[in-house]
Amino acid sequence: MPENTQTAGLALSGTKPSVRQILKQHTTPMHRQLDSSPALHALLKPALSLSDYCRTLSGYAQAHESLEGDHRSLETTLALGKVPTYTPRLPALIHDLYELEQLTDIPHSVQALDPKRRRIRTEWQYWGSRYVLEGATQGSKFIALQLRKHLPQLVPCAFAFWEIQLRLAQEWPLVCDHLGQICPTGDAEQQLLDGADIAFSTFTSCFASIEGYREHNV
């Protein structure tokens, strides 16, 4: 049964849906939009070039740089329960981009952060955003498999980001369990959804701004 249908059924029966169910229902359209972006979809194509791969990876780096600083700052005051502290992906992305620059002789830089970007400021925004960041590890398993087939030269020297994603995919059940136990009150639920919105919009805008893919975006 699709989780959004399940959530609606819970609401009708008088049982309050869990935080995970609320987030699943809310983010499904955004997830589909992000998956269909040309920069991300390119990772699954057999004809993926190193140059296009580098551009997409720079989008990943820009998005993670935008979000990760707020996560680290908020974690100093949050009760995470059994959920491990957030593992930054940016160092692995920078490493891979550097190694790829050696392979391709093409410089790949990460765009400067927009000072007016939306920020993760509250505990509930943190959990909404982290749901998106950690949920991405699940799709990364399939992407990594395709990259191993289509660009095997990445694996020995420039695969650190995907290796981290694969390792952290094992921690996804801990995040889900925690989200099933916490209960937002007052305006906390809206903050939760805002956090997910910020994360998804960050990735969407970073991928949409990549040179070479702009003309394919509506």
Q: pLDDT of 189-208, one tens digit each?
A: 999 999 999 999 999 999 98
The percentage of the chain sitting over the pLDDT mark of 90, rounded to a whole number, equals: 63
Domain 50-216 belongs in CATH node 3.40.50.1110: no
Average pLDDT value for residue range 115-142: 92
* pLDDT tens sequence across 53-94: 999 999 999 999 999 999 999 998 988 889 999 999 999 999
Q: How confident is the model at residue 108 (pLDDT cuts 50, 70, 90)?
A: low
- CA 184 to mean position of chain CA atoms: 22
Per domain, the residue ranges of the chain are 50-216
Q: How confident is the model at residue 185 (pLDDT cuts 50, 70, 90)?
A: confident
pLDDT of residue 106: 62
Average pLDDT value for residue range 6-18: 49
Which pTM does this prediction carry?
Answer: 0.86
Burial class (CB in 10 A: 0-12, 13-18, 19+), 33: exposed
Q: How confident is the model at residue 186 (pLDDT cuts 50, 70, 90)?
A: confident
CB 207 within 8 A of CB 213: yes
pLDDT at residue 6 is higher than 90: no
pLDDT of residue 115: 62
- Which two tokens mark 4? 């959004």
Lowest-confidence pick of 124-128, 147-151, 183-187: 183-187
Phi, psi of 70 (to 5 degrees): -65, -40
DSSP the chain: --HHHHHHHHHHHTPPPPHHHHHHHHHHHHHHHHHTSHHHHGGG-TT--HHHHHHHHHHHHHHHHHHHHHHHHHTTT---TTSPPP---HHHHHHHHHHHHHHH-----PPPPPTTS----SHHHHHHHHHHHHHHHHHHHHHHHHHHHH-GGGTTTS-HHHHHHHHHGGGHHHHHHHHHH----TTHHHHHHHHHHHHHHHHHHHHHTSTTTGGG--
Length of the chain: 218
The rounded mean pLDDT for the chain is: 86
